[in-house]
Amino acid sequence: MTSECIEYESTASYAEIAERIKQSTKIVVTAHRKPDGDAMGSVVALYRGLQSIGKEVVVLLMGPIEHGLKLIVEDVPIQLVEECGVPTDEPDLIIVADTGAWSQLEAISDWLKSHKEKVVGLDHHANGDDVAELRIVDVSAAACTQVVMMLCDELNISLGSGKGSVAEAIFIGLGTDTGWFRFSNADSRCFADVSRLLECGIDRYSIYRALEETAQPARISLLEKMLASIEYVGPVAIMSLRTADFREANGSSTDIVGLVNTPLVLSNIQASILLTDSDPTITKISFRSKPALPDQPESLIDVNELARKFGGGGHVHAAGARVFAPLEDVKLQLHELIGKM
């Protein structure tokens, strides 16, 4: 659960984080469990960039990893905690990217705590815990890869060019965390950074295709089941996928990335919520929302605040939570909360 007793904000400058990196040889880079495009883009950009200046870098992730992300970063050796455990070699530095929440780092939390003085954080979320005493938290960034990009500039790391470059990895984070530049977080800074990345010769369509057009057939089956479950509570659409749905579709949680956005095409829907219990002991909640209607600021639904009611968090328009309670109980709580909005 996200701590309420610390101010989650930057405690270090880019120059200070860069100095820690310069003083280190063996560096582990990691991110939250089940990495999305921004988390993966951040750790891969760090891996490629730090290797280019002579650092020994290990990418440590907690799965599962969706199919498209595996395709786009197949050149990067990734150690999965579920297969390899935590590193046995002593690192000089650990960089945690795209999260500062213990709830998203459970599988490696003890290892991180035992190396607390070696952990630094790079994030763009508004809420977090004391994972890293030295951290950069830039909530104005559309994606964590923009934070990584600024750190690369501080270290005079080249963004490279084409496939397998630092630029490609940064673009992955920006593209996915802005809904391919459709969301309100795609601001002037975002487009300025994207323009710079495109000058590095990356193939934006190949990236998009790998991430968005290589789904497995199970995705369509799960989409059908998800839409069949839809309930409308005022301006909010609530959907669910149960353990049996995943079994019948021969699918997994990696097959449903982005499906929660589907009801947002409706004019009267301001927020969309998807509940899943592919692990029967845990209910996962994905929240999405639109910007406020023109001239109706009260129509905005801040899903970050809603997610925090369940110990989660994220952004105003995209957030998530994991709850150790049955799906139907969580759904009932959601109905009650939305009814009071």
Domain boundaries, the chain: 14-212, 218-339
Tokens 């909010």 correspond to 236
Taking only the tens of pLDDT, the chain with its 341 residues reads 344 457 899 999 999 999 999 999 999 999 999 999 999 999 999 999 999 999 999 999 999 999 899 988 988 999 999 999 999 999 999 999 999 999 999 999 999 999 999 999 999 998 899 999 999 999 999 999 999 999 999 999 999 999 999 999 999 999 999 999 998 899 999 999 999 999 999 999 999 999 999 999 999 999 999 999 999 999 999 999 999 999 999 999 899 999 999 999 999 999 999 999 977 788 999 999 999 988 899 999 999 999 999 999 888 999 999 999 999 999 999 999 998 88
| Cα 44 from chain centroid (whole Å) | 14
| Cα 118 from chain centroid (whole Å) | 23
Prediction pTM value: 0.88
Distance (Å, whole) CA 54 – CA 50? 7
| Single-letter code of the amino acid located at 254 | T
Q: Which of 144, 116, 114, 148 is nearest to 131 (CA)?
A: 116
For the domain spanning 218-339, the CATH number is 3.10.310.30
Greatest CA separation found in the chain? Answer: 57
Quickly name the fold that domain 14-212 has: inorganic pyrophosphatase (n-terminal core) (3.90.1640)
